[in-house]
Structure 1
């Protein structure tokens, strides 16, 4: 085993990244890497133009214009990289890596880039925004492979996603390391479990992408209604599949289902979690859905709520029904309804799950620190010091 070394003497955090609440991973990774280094310089566009990365609602033309403006601003600050021995490029790293490469700073320094989401499985397979085996899909893969190959270490969120990315980057010399999603633990603290009344409160929130499988949640709610299970479901969110879900509910409403159709901020989500007894995860049947542990699963467990989500290679590593991580088959409303019914019965019979312990052991900040330290080959800094900076 190689001996650990000291962290970066001078770290540069480089790119047009967002540390908005939707991108808590960026915020968390930057904080931890900053704790590893002796000094950190932040090189970001002086007037950020592209909103919140690939989730921006800007038109394609305005988004491309914004990316060009961001790239130009980064280019004018490239001299700040000269004295840095390590460069971290947060998600989405692709265009920023191109700027770094053109500027000549991808050699002679340790470049760490965060891929977070493997592009082909996200854009082509799960969201179906580009046809598979098309020229656009080929170009997307080529773009991902070329840009990420400019880095020495590429981070991604699970071992399954790391394995998939390694297949795409076959032949590239960089190291791919899996590091859990990373949430802001100053926001997602454990909150008291609400008292149980006549009905158990279920909560789902998200951007209604195919991976979430919201249609299966709605179908499960119908089954629960037919069985007279004492549970209420609150949906929060909007997005790609929302219109289809809305049409289905218009044709056949579900009595104990409410939907707040908007994307809300973290404080509103936290308020909703405070009132909920159970958080629902994701239930899509794509390979991508089975290879990730989404933000909402991390956040629900961190808040101290039992979580029901689909089974898959990623979630099976943290499955623990006794402590409050309950799995069911993907794309199976009947199995989901049965899992919810069993959980409702257990709660009404006095079950006291401890999901926060699962989060801390498998997904929490200390896990991220150890994973990052191992990928960099450095010593782990003091946990209390990093926590005080968050």
Structure 2
């Protein structure tokens, strides 16, 4: 099998989870990868702003030229693969993969719908329709379309082509053994809380900010770290301007992020009630759990289904409920019980576990 495309596993670990998991199932995976070098936000911005497209096209063609050369060399050495996995954000790469490997089983990791993501970030009209058309073209080129939730699978033009594979977390996030389940916490100590993300509407950063503000005002001893930048950051900063104990970081290098998150007791997920927010289980939920944190996130169908027994769930878009949960976790006994629940789910998000459906699909097609 070949993992193919312009994906960047350092920035977006989803493809690394799939590759590592399939290898753990005994699938030989060779990577043909020429990272494009753009973040998700940069790609979406380029698609929303047509005058930026020449930059995307030039870099994409340069990466594709390298991929074609890699393909020719590999085919001479090993022949054609049984299956080709097109990595995350492969809306364009899957077109090339279909042309280069017409007889192979093409698997598209369609973690992000371009039209849906653009709409969540404020786009509308023709741009969203064009991006939705790109989604349809991409999935039409694949034999198997991997999504992260059942809600996303049902958004496909042909849901029967879809296969749900949870996002999971790379083993790199298991930076240290989970904290002792009954580790004592000083009553007078602070509860350390971390949020990291792109501050897009689905993440609900203003909800987090209001909850932290209100919990601290009610007497909760919190030490909160907010990491990242994006459209909702100014509003979050405004809400927390007079709240003590909050530290802001614009960026943490991907290689340093697992250890950074693991230094905290609680990791926050997403809290909006936007349509996209109700359909996803974000990376940070899996990653925070893998890092040994107690994870608090919104009580949505996909999150409850995937991790409901391992994370602490609160109603979406409800800062009062989130504030109450943070206050509750300041109680050492409540925090210890939450750690027990988190530890039970930690092994269920490893690459080998979450990729079992994909490994079984490939075995069934004789393409493993």
Q: TM-score, normalised by structure 1?
A: 0.80
Quick one: distance in 1 between partners of 2:321 and 2:173?
A: 32
Instruction: Map 1:246-265 to 2 at 5 A.
Output: 246-249=237-240, 252-260=241-249, 262-265=250-253
Distance in structure 1 (CA, Å) of the matches to 2:14 and 2:198? 17
Q: Which runs of 5+ in 2 are unaligned?
A: 47-51
2:314 aligned with 1:328 = yes
Partner of 2:212: 221
Equivalent residue for 1:93, pick from 73, 90, 93: 90
Counterpart of 1:244 (choices 235, 241, 247) is 235
The Cα shift of 1:188 comes to 2.3
TM-score, length of structure 2 as denominator length: 0.85
Aligned to 1:386: none
**Structure 1 residue 143 corresponds to structure 2 residue 166:** no
Cα distance in 1 for partners of 2:94, 2:191 equals 48
Does 2:97 align with 1:111? no
Q: Which residue of 2 aligns with 1:384?
A: none
Q: Sort the Cα spacing of 1:337 and 1:241 in 2 relative to 1 into closer, same or farther, 3 A.
A: same
1:44 to 33, 53, 58: 33
SS of the residue 2:92 aligns to: helix
SS of 1:120's partner is helix
Write the distance in 2 (CA, Å) between the matches of 1:348 and 1:157: 31
For residue 158 of structure 1, the aligned residue among 124, 149, 163 is 149
CA distance in 1, matches of 2:299, 2:207: 14
- 8 A contact 1:24–1:182 mirrored in 2: no
Alignment of 1:26-65 (within 5 A): 26-34=15-23, 39-45=28-34, 48=35, 50-56=36-42, 60-65=53-58
Using the alignment, how far apart are the partners of 2:33 and 2:64 within structure 1?
9
1: CA distance, partners of 2:335 / 2:29 = 52
Give yes or no for contact 1:192–1:274 (8 Å, CA) kept in 2: no
**1:314 maps onto 2:302 in alignment:** yes
Quickly say closer, same or farther: Cα 1:37–1:83, change in 2 above 3 A: farther
Change (3 A) 1:365 1:73: closer
Cα gap change, 1:276 to 1:39, in 2 (>3 Å): closer
Which residue does the alignment assign to 2:121? Answer: 127
Summarize deviations over 1:326-367 as a string: whole Å, max 9, x none. Answer: 111111111111111122225478545241321323x33232
d(CA) in 2 for partners of 1:295, 1:151: 24
Task: Indicate how the Cα distance of structure 1 residues 344 and 267 shifts in structure 2: closer, same or farther if over 3 A, else same.
Answer: farther
Between stretches 363-372 and 55-64, larger displacement belongs to 55-64
**Structure 1 unmatched runs, 5+:** 1-10, 380-390
- Could you say which residue in structure 1 is the equivalent of 2:345? 358
Question: For residues 310 and 299 of structure 1, what CA distance do their matches in structure 2 show?
Answer: 16
Q: Aligned equivalents of 2:151 and 2:304: distance in 1?
A: 12
| Corresponding residue of 2:49 | none
**Distance verdict in 2 for CA 1:192–1:180, change over 3 Å:** same
Contact 1:304 1:354 in 2 (8 A): no
CA positional deviation for 1:159: 1.5
The question of whether the paired residues in 1 share the 8 Å contact of 2:106 and 2:144 is answered with yes
3-state SS in 1 of match to 2:355: helix
Post-superposition offset of 1:39: 4.6
CA shift in 2, pair 1:211/1:350, >3 Å: closer
Residue in 2 aligned with 1:283? 271
SS of residue matched to 1:116: coil
In structure 2, relative to structure 1, the CA distance for the partners of 1:37 and 1:191 (3 Å cut) is: closer
Partner of 1:17: 7
**Corresponding residue SS for 2:220:** coil
Contact (CA 8 Å) 1:53, 1:92: kept in 2 or not? no
In structure 1, the residue corresponding to 2:293 is in which secondary structure? coil
Instruction: Report the CA distance between 1:66 and its aligned residue.
Output: 0.6
